[in-house]
């Protein structure tokens, strides 16, 4: 049973920063804190599966009905459990499937990944796509968020026929727990509400963003297969990445991949696409030189993951990029082994050991199709450096330079309150978050992020960026993850500078033809370098109080490095068209 849902959502302006006032089904839960429970199920009445329901919260907007459910034990909601949802969608106990005092028109068994719609004495088997079911997190948890689209039609019948719904959750085994308990009921009213604010995103890179990083699993060499190449072309031309980490390009060299990228995104004068491949399917394609690459492997170990050292001239440093593709599905032990191995590699790179070493404060980015569909420990390892097999891969460590965990950029789907990155309506598994871009927050400032899902983009955005509605789902079962970063090194705050440092003014900023630099109270020569948008030094010299720079041709971000009283101060200046 398949149907096509039409998405009508507000269009977002290209802003930096995020607004998260509505419910977001992302496995994070803080957005539920202001909403009361609709039911608190008493503890201690769970069955042999250890499922013992706790608090249930509900919410809705004009498109989705949301649930937050405490399970009472750690499970994977999409596998190996008997948790079922029963919804009376016409507020009539005499219709549908009788269950715990309600008549359920809609039933879904999460562990079996299937459900039924009951109407007029008949039943229709359904799957997640028929009701646009989304759950989070994709990894194991004892709390889950669930969303169901309220404007769905099955067998020609609207599923939600009343503004009041009745709800039952059941651990569908012998002596399994019920929520609510017998002789109790949960009624929820679908009142008229405005669509809550969703995360802002910008498809077009903002002029003040330093670098745009993309992770993309292109599904079994699909980057080179017609007609999928045309979908990838439109997508990449719309998002204009600076660095791409590709997965699932097995049968082609990195030079062949870079050649295709050049055809899609031709280089300007002085530009190039640098490239490297490490492992069976992981590629790095970059506007910045890739100075070293290696497959990540330990003693008596191998993996499909690669590490790349990328020269970033604007920050006078290299960045460590890891493109990863750990094993899929039920292979929890193999996946944990590989994430342990990845974090061992990061630790040794920071310590100056191993095939790649990095300087202190070098940016660290780990991206790829992580296949995180099992134990939550794998994500914990990637973020916190909590290595499981310390005998094989060494001790735990703090992965960021400032002693903190790495950060998950957590891109949200364009125009939807979800953070899934994998979408296959033909699979029994509902959309989930399999792909990640993880980064060091000590030196990278996240400015913008999104997962490009073209079916949910408004038509004016599709037209503006030369996209078609189904480009993303036709290209691959994974969405392109896009993150924009600002280098913290290039953001000088008052606390970064000596209190005696002179005041520096750049005017105008942004500029169109020329700009001037004023240094108050200076009476001796100041050396400077001006770096272009590609990180190349195009001007250098010295001045005393005023420097005038003109005749710069390319628009974008320029970096002015000044040596003032022994301090190297970097200032960002933007040239507009």
Query: Does residue 203 lie within any of the structural domains?
Result: no
pLDDT score recorded for residue 14: 34
Tell me which of 123, 158, 189 is where a domain ends. 189
Q: Helices 377-384 and 332-350, interaxial angle, to 10°?
A: 0
Q: How far is CA 233 from CA 259, 281, 300, 408, in A?
A: 13, 20, 40, 27
Both 96 and 141 in one domain: the answer is yes
pLDDT of residue 532: 74
Same domain, 306 and 327: yes
Q: Which pLDDT score is estimated for 299?
A: 57
Helices (H) and strands (E) in the chain, counts: 8, 35
**One domain, residues 374 and 499:** no
475 and 502 assigned to the same domain: no
Query: CA-CA distance, 518 to 427, in Å (whole number)?
Result: 61
pLDDT value, residue 209 = 87
How many CA atoms lie within 13 Å of 122's alpha carbon, on the beta-carbon side?
8
Give the residues of the chain that fall short of pLDDT 50. Answer: 2, 4-20, 492-497
Query: How far, in Å, CA of 356 to CA of 345, rounded?
Result: 9
Cα separation, 412 vs 431, whole angstroms: 13
What pLDDT score was predicted for residue 138?
Answer: 98
Q: Which residue is associated with the tokens 């996240």? A: 446
For residues 481 and 541, membership in a common domain is answered with no
Distance between CA atoms of residues 440 and 323, nearest Å: 15
* CATH for 240: 3.60.10.10
Same domain, 248 and 269: yes
Indicate whether 397 belongs to any domain: yes
Alpha-carbon span 102 to 98, nearest angstrom: 6
Around 125, how many Cα atoms within 13 Å sit in the side-chain half-sphere?
4
Q: What is the pLDDT of residue 10?
A: 34
Domain of 548: which CATH number? 2.60.40.3080
Same domain, 453 and 507: no
User: Is 540 exposed, middle or buried, given 0-12, 13-18 or 19+ CB atoms closer than 10 A?
Assistant: exposed
Q: How many domains does the chain have?
A: 3
Tokens 């509605």, residue located: 469
Q: Does residue 182 sit in the same domain as residue 45?
A: yes
Residue in the block written with tokens 């170990």: 301
Does residue 342 form part of some domain?
yes
Give the residue carrying structure tokens 């191995």: 341
Answer for the pair 38, 58: CB distance below 8 angstroms, yes or no. Answer: yes
pTM for the full predicted model: 0.86
Could you give the CA distance from residue 74 to residue 85 in angstroms, rounded to a whole number? 18
In this structure, the strands spanning 407-408 and 526-531 are: unpaired
For residues 274 and 257, what is the distance between their CA atoms, to the nearest angstrom? 10
Q: What domain range includes position 559?
A: 494-575
Tell me: do 408 and 336 sit in the same domain: yes
On whether residue 500 sits in a domain, the answer given is yes
Neighbouring residues of 260: CB distance < 8 A, sequence distance ≥ 6: 223, 224, 229
Structure confidence at residue 475 (pLDDT): 98
Reduce the DSSP state of residue 335 to 3 states and report it: helix
pLDDT of residue 4: 47
Q: Look at residue 19 in the predicted model and tell me its pLDDT.
A: 35
Residue of 362, 342, 363 lying closest to 354 (CA atoms)? 342
Q: What pLDDT, on the 0 to 100 scale, is given for residue 500?
A: 60
Rounded Cα distance, 166 and 173, in Å: 21
H/E element, 411: none
User: Which phi and psi angles does 161 have, rounded to 5°?
Assistant: -115, 5
Q: Is residue 7 a part of any domain in this protein?
A: no
Closest CA to 282 of 308, 300, 259: 308
Q: What is the per-residue pLDDT for 498?
A: 52
Query: Whole-angstrom Cα distance, residue 364 to residue 324?
Result: 13
Identify whether 200 is part of a domain.
no
Q: Are residues 291 and 355 in the same domain?
A: yes
């Amino acid at each position: 049973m398949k149907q096509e849902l039409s998405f009508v959502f507000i269009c977002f302006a290209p802003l930096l920063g995020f607004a998260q006032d509505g419910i977001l089904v992302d496995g994070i839960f803080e957005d539920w804190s202001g909403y009361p429970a609709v039911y608190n199920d008493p503890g201690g009445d769970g069955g042999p599966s250890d499922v013992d329901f706790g608090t249930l919260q509900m919410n809705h907007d004009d498109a989705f009905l949301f649930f937050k459910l405490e399970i009472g034990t750690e499970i994977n909601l999409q596998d190996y459990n008997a948790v079922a949802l029963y919804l009376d969608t016409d507020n009539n106990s005499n219709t549908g499937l009788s269950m715990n005092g309600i008549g359920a028109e809609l039933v879904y068994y999460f562990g079996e990944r299937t459900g039924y719609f009951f109407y007029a004495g008949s039943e229709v088997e359904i799957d997640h796509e028929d009701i646009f079911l989304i759950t989070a997190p994709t990894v194991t948890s004892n709390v889950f968020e669930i969303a169901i689209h309220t404007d769905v039609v099955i067998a020609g019948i609207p599923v939600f026929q009343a503004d009041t719904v009745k709800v039952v959750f059941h651990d569908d085994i012998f002596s399994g727990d019920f929520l609510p308990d017998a002789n109790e009921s949960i009624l929820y009213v679908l009142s008229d509400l405005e669509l809550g604010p969703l995360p802002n995103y910008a498809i077009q890179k903002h002029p003040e963003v330093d670098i745009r990083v993309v992770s993309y699993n292109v599904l079994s060499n699909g980057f080179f297969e017609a007609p999928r190449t045309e979908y990838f072309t439109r997508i990449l031309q719309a998002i204009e990445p600076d660095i791409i980490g590709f997965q699932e390009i097995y049968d082609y060299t990195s030079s062949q991949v870079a050649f295709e990228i050049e055809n899609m995104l031709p280089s300007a004068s002085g530009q190039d696409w640098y490239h490297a491949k490490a492992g069976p399917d992981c590629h790095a394609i970059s506007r910045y030189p890739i100075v070293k690459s290696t497959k990540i492997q330990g003693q008596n170990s191998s993996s499909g993951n690669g590490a790349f050292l990328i020269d970033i001239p604007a920050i006078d440093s290299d960045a460590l990029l890891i493109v990863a593709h750990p094993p899929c599905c039920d292979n929890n032990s193999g996946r944990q082994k590989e994430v342990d191995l990845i974090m061992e590699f990061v630790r040794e790179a920071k310590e100056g050991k191993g095939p790649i070493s990095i300087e202190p404060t070098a940016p660290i980015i780990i991206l790829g199709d992580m296949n995180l569909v099992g134990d939550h420990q794998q994500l914990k390892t990637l973020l916190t450096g909590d290595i499981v097999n310390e005998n094989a891969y060494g001790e735990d460590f703090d992965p960021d330079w400032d002693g903190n965990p790495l950060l998950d950029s957590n891109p949200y789907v364009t125009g939807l309150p979800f953070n899934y990155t994998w979408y296959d309506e033909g699979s029994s598994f509902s959309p989930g978050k399999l792909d990640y871009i993880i980064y060091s927050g000590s030196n990278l400032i996240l400015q913008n992020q999104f997962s490009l899902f073209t079916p949910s983009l408004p038509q004016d955005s599709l037209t503006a960026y030369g996209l078609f509605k189904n480009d993303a789902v036709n290209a691959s079962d994974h969405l392109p993850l896009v993150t924009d970063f600002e280098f913290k090194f290039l953001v000088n705050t008052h606390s970064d500078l000596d209190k005696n440092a002179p005041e520096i003014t750049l005017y105008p900023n942004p500029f169109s033809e020329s700009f001037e630099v004023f240094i108050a109270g200076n009476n001796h020569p100041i050396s400077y370098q001006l770096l272009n948008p590609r990180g190349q030094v195009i001007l250098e010299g010295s001045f005393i109080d005023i420097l005038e720079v003109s005749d710069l041709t390319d628009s974008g971000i320029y970096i002015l490095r000044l040596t003032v009283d022994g301090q190297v101060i970097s200032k960002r200046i933007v040239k507009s068209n």
